[in-house]
Amino acid sequence: MNIKIREAELNDYKSISTLVKEVHSLHVKNRPDVYVDVENPFTEERFKEILNDEKTRIFVVEDSNNEIIAYSIIEVMTTRNIPILKERKFVYIDDLCVSSNHRREGIGKKLFGYIVDYAKNSGYDALELTVWEFNSDAIKFYESLGMATRNRRMELKI
């Protein structure tokens, strides 16, 4: 498949918002105790904030018809100023989604590779993300790309 990866622009909002709804509905279905089922989980205001923040980027994948079929939101982060932790700068993948109509076509792998190249070329130490335990497909996908579990955030419902 012939695709193009680029940074998002203002006129990409509707296409990205549609994909965000896909991701959000999966989270609402599996963790209704955490996620609220809202009509629009990604407001245009929030989209503009991300576009205008120098620490964040939105990358989109377009197919040969210039349709956005995947996106990722990343943020450059640094470790908190805690004396026992080494200072480091890393890229945090806040969101990565491939349209359900285009999964298992290698698009997510190419987008992930693009993010890795961005991080390397920008001089960052690592790539990090959070994935819900229920999302076994995503866990397998990230592991297949060389990611490993760094730590676990656990919970006890009371």
Tens of pLDDT, residue by residue over 123-134, are 998 999 999 999
Q: What is the pLDDT of residue 26?
A: 94
Task: Write the DSSP assignment of 95-106 as a string of letters.
Answer: EEEE-GGGTTSS
Confirm if 74 and 56 have CB atoms less than 8 A apart.
Answer: yes
Q: For helices 13-30 and 44-52, what crossing angle results, to 10°?
A: 110
Q: Where are the domains of the chain?
A: 4-144
Give the CATH number of domain 4-144: 3.40.630.30
Q: For residues 131 and 8, give the distance between their C-alpha atoms in angstroms, rounded to a whole number.
A: 23
pLDDT above 80 (res 1): no
Question: What is the rounded CA–CA span in Å between residue 100 and residue 18?
Answer: 11
